[in-house]
Amino acid sequence: MRLILLGPPGAGKGTQAQHLVARYGLVQFSTGDMLRAAVKAGTVIGRQAQDIMARGALVPDDVVVSIVEQRIGEPDARKGFILDGFPRTVPQAEALDRMLRRHGLALDAVIELKVDEAALIRRIESRIAEMTARGEALRPDDNPDVLHRRLAAYREQTAPLIAYYRRHGMLRSVDGMAPIPKVARQIEAALADAATTLKEPPASPRPASAPKPPIGKKSKAGSKSRSKGRAGTRARPAGKAKAQAKPKSGPKSKARPRKRRR
- Amino acid in position 172: R
Q: Is 68 helix (H, G, I), strand (E, B) or coil?
A: helix
Q: Which helix (H) or strand (E) holds 15?
A: helix 13-24
Give catalytic residues, as residue numbers. 13, 88, 127, 139, 150
Residue type at 245 in one-letter notation: A
Q: How far apart are CA 259 and CA 262, in angstroms?
A: 9
What are the backbone angles phi and psi of residue 57, rounded to the nearest 5°?
-95, 160
Residue type at 190? A
Helix (H) or strand (E) holding 172, with range, is strand 171-175
Which residues fall within 8 angstroms of residue 128, CB to CB, at 6 or more apart?
A: 138, 142, 143, 144
Closest CA to 147 of 184, 119, 183: 119
Angle between helices 61-72 and 31-41 (to 10 degrees): 80
